[in-house]
């Protein structure tokens, strides 16, 4: 573990060390020094380049190849990108750009195509007139990592009337670049098969790719991105192209909102040399602040200087509008939180030499972007408010209402903070805490009901497992402001137990448990309790979901008993499909017990099936597409029942086992 952590802390922008030291028992001499060059290092330490070797890392391979095509689009040469999931399990990415250069590289003495796919730290993203001025990639590793971590990869380039091709096996070229045909097309086509020796799974998920590709189409207006699945029984196809760019993105985000302050988003795009600022803003009737930010198409989930510029400008301009319309007095002042309640905004910047806080690119650091975005937003939003005085007045009045509610929430916060809710100084009485205080080793089960909570408390491993029972269903936070949220006893108990605070008080370093596990009955009520919990975490502690701390336990549906050789054999089945398969394979009479709730299990059964790390199944709650998640919470948990009715009608055919 220590070696892995040390390796992952090496920034991707640094030169990859030529020597990798491995210590073994006995003498430590020259024979223990291992030399790893280029792609061999990628195969040995894949986590350095694609973050993980699970499903997330697998899909990252596709994103890396697509990013190369996006760079061609940013440079003005590509209008269509096609991503195909092939029947054999491989993936193809094809664009109609200029095609990767195929001539002999002056320094390496081999085809530039081979250099691009095999030579680490070689690429067109390091400055100079011939490279990409704006690019999401910074380190020249992307497609090299894809090549190194693929069982095989075929690269085809269409240019100069020819089709050029080279094949690689686990990153090693199998032959020189060859002309294999004639064509009138231009562009690049990459087909790769992920290496099963590297990845935990090599099965691509269509919906996971769909979310990111749709997002890229919004961020690059006019670019068409097509995704097609040709695998047997999974055939489907989607094509995304948005001439409105991020304006269309904001309209999509707000499509489930009943009341909008103005019908179309405020939208603008400003350029200063190679720097581009694109912003779309619209206000709705919710109590949430939704701002998505991007730098060179990278989703900067932790914001950065571009978001700071946006927020500063909005606060200034809306305060000025309030004074101009005599709604705010000279001494009155709206805060940033006040002016952003109900906002849906997307800010996308494109710039040369983007500086990010870390190799995960979660936060943009270029200081000049703050002033540039501030200037652009100030000018365009001020113009909009001046040209639309009624909308300006309504916006200011809404912000004043938000301020009053926020004052009430602030008082509630101060009260709960004094009582220890936000500072975790006094743990809730019904929490059965664990003995170990090292957060990285601990987990907390959020359990439905006192009965199941009691069973879980007696059946747990007290060393690292904590139990917090919930009484009934928690408040639906989608429909209320913060002051109401902080009045709810069940929510206060969770805030106290987790220890990391909420919203602006949130501090992940204070989280008391690495895993937060919802454990509810396998019925409709249990599912409702889970979605209420996830709504609260999504709106008030979103980083817990983004950083992989939230899980769902999977209790069994059935206990199956039968006798073999006079002895009773017990198995647990977790779905109707498992029960059908179990029936098919049965050679003796089987007795089934259908669990209607966790409280029906003994402490031994609950431990064996749902809580024992050696035998349990946990489902990690992830958020591959934050925008789609936001829409889903709005639709399912918001004020508009018509949207829920429509959703149920459209998806009713997908229900195969409804427990009522």
Q: Pick the more confident residue, 128 or 232.
A: 232
- C-alpha to C-alpha distance for 257 and 631, rounded to whole angstroms: 9
Residue 15 falls in the annotated catalytic set: no
Q: Which residues contact 640 (CB under 8 A, 6 or more apart)?
A: 256, 258
Question: Helices H, strands E: what count in the chain?
Answer: 21, 24
Residue 272 falls in the annotated catalytic set: no
Assess whether pLDDT exceeds 50 at residue 345: yes
pLDDT, position 33: 32
Assess whether pLDDT exceeds 70 at residue 412: no
pLDDT, position 487: 81
Tokens at 345, concatenated: 């905004």
pLDDT, position 626: 61
What's the pTM value of the predicted model, to 2 decimals?
0.69
- C-alpha to C-alpha distance for 60 and 45, rounded to whole angstroms: 15
The active-site residue, picked from 338, 433, 521, 608, is 521
Residue 448 falls in the annotated catalytic set: yes
The active-site residue, picked from 252, 448, 478, 630, is 448
- C-alpha to C-alpha distance for 356 and 91, rounded to whole angstroms: 30
Cα–Cα distances in angstroms (integers) from residue 650 to residues 253, 300, 337, 644, 647, in the given order: 19, 33, 37, 10, 5
Q: What is the mean pLDDT of residues 576-585?
A: 84
CA angle 211, 643, 240 (to 5 degrees): 25
pLDDT, position 6: 28
pLDDT, position 129: 47
Poorest-pLDDT segment among 244-248, 365-369, 562-566, 639-643: 639-643
Most confident of 336-350, 509-523, 542-556, 610-624: 336-350
Q: Pick the more confident residue, 238 or 258.
A: 238
- Model confidence at 201, pLDDT cuts 50, 70, 90, reads very high
- C-alpha to C-alpha distance for 606 and 554, rounded to whole angstroms: 11
pLDDT, position 634: 65
CATH 2.30.130.10 is right for the domain spanning 246-414: no
Query: Mean of the per-residue pLDDT values for the chain?
Result: 83
Poorest-pLDDT segment among 7-21, 62-76, 180-194: 7-21
Q: What is the mean pLDDT of residues 162-177?
A: 94
Assess whether pLDDT exceeds 50 at residue 31: no
**Residues β-bridged to residue 562:** 569
CA angle 39, 40, 46 (to 5 degrees): 80
Residues 7-26: pLDDT tens digits? Answer: 223 233 333 333 333 333 34
Tokens at 371, concatenated: 């002033």
Tokens at 380, concatenated: 């365009």
User: What CATH number does the domain located at 439-555+620-654 have?
Assistant: 3.40.50.670
Q: Pick the more confident residue, 469 or 625.
A: 469
Domain edges within the chain: 2-47, 51-240, 246-414, 439-555+620-654
DSSP output for 302-338: T-BHHHHHHHHHHHHHHHHHHHHTTSS-TT----HHH
pLDDT, position 10: 29
Cα end-to-end distance, the chain, whole Å: 46
pLDDT, position 531: 86
Residue 633 C-alpha from the chain's centroid: 15
Residue 285 falls in the annotated catalytic set: no
The active-site residue, picked from 525, 600, 625, 628, is 525
- Model confidence at 180, pLDDT cuts 50, 70, 90, reads very high
Q: Pick the more confident residue, 227 or 138.
A: 227
The active-site residue, picked from 523, 578, 625, 628, is 523
At the topology level of CATH, where does 51-240 sit? Heat Shock Protein 90 (3.30.565)
């Amino acid at each position: 573990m220590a070696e892995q952590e040390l390796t992952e802390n090496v920034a991707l922008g640094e030169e990859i060390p030529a020597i990798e030291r491995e210590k073994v028992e006995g003498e430590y001499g020259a024979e223990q020094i291992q030399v790893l060059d280029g792609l061999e290092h990628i195969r040995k330490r894949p986590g350095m380049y694609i973050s993980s070797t699970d499903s997330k890392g697998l899909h990252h391979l596709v994103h890396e190849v697509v990013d190369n095509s996006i760079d061609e689009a940013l440079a003005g040469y590509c209008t269509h990108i096609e991503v195909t999931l092939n029947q054999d399990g491989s993936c193809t990415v094809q664009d109609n750009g200029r095609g990767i250069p195929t001539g002999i590289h002056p320094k390496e003495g081999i085809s530039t195509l081979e250099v691009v796919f095999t030579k680490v730290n070689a690429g067109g993203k390091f400055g100079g007139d011939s490279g990409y001025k704006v690019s999401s990639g910074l380190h020249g590793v992307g497609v090299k990592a894809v090549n190194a971590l693929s069982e095989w990869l075929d690269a085809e380039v269409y240019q100069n009337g020819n089709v050029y091709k080279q094949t690689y096996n686990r990153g090693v070229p199998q032959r020189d670049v060859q002309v294999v045909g004639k064509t009138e097309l231009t562009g690049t086509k990459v087909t790769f098969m992920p290496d099963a020796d590297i990845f935990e799974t090599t099965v691509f998920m269509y919906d996971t790719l769909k979310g990111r590709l749709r997002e890229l189409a919004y961020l690059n207006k006019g670019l068409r991105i097509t995704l097609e699945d040709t695998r047997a029984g999974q055939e489907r196809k989607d094509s995304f192209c948005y001439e409105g760019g991020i304006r269309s993105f904001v309209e999509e985000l707000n499509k489930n909102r009943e009341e909008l302050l103005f019908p179309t988003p405020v939208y603008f795009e400003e350029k200063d040399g190679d720097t581009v600022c694109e912003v779309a803003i619209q206000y709705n009737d919710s109590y949430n602040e939704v701002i998505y930010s991007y730098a060179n198409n990278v989703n900067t989930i932790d914001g950065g200087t571009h978001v700071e510029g946006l927020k500063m400008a909005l606060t200034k301009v809306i305060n000025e509008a309030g004074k101009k319309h005599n709604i705010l007095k000279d001494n009155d002042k709206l805060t940033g939180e006040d002016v952003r309640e109900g906002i849906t905004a997307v800010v996308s910047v494109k710039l040369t030499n983007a500086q990010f806080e870390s190799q995960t690119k979660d936060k943009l650091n270029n200081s000049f972007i703050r002033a540039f975005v501030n200037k652009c937003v100030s000018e365009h939003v001020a113009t909009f408010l001046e040209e639309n005085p009624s909308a300006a007045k309504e916006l200011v009045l809404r912000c004043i209402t938000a301020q009053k509610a926020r004052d009430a929430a602030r008082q509630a916060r101060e009260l709960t903070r004094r009582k220890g809710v936000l500072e975790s100084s006094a743990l809730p009485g019904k929490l059965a805490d664990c003995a170990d205080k090292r957060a990285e080793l601990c987990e907390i089960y959020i359990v439905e009901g006192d009965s199941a909570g009691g069973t879980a408390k007696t059946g747990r491993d007290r060393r690292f497992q904590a139990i917090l029972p919930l009484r009934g269903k928690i408040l639906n936070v989608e429909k209320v402001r913060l002051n109401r949220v902080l009045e709810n006893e069940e929510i206060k108990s969770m805030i106290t137990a987790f220890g990391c605070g909420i919203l602006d008080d949130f501090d992940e370093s204070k989280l008391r448990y690495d895993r937060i596990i919802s454990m509810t009955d396998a019925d409709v009520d249990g599912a409702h309790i889970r979605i209420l919990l996830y709504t609260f975490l999504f709106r008030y502690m979103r980083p817990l979901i983004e950083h992989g701390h939230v899980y769902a336990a999977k209790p069994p549906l059935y206990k199956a008993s039968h006798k073999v050789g006079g002895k009773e054999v017990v198995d647990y089945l977790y779905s109707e499909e498992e029960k059908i398969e179990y029936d098919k394979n049965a050679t003796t009479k089987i007795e089934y017990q259908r669990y209607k709730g966790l409280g029906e299990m003994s402490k031994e059964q609950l431990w064996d099936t749902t809580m024992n790390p050696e035998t349990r199944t946990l489902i990690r709650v992830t958020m591959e597409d934050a925008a789609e998640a936001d829409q889903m919470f709005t639709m399912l948990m918001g004020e508009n029942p018509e949207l829920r009715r429509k959703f149920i009608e459209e998806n009713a055919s997908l229900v195969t086992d409804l427990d009522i």
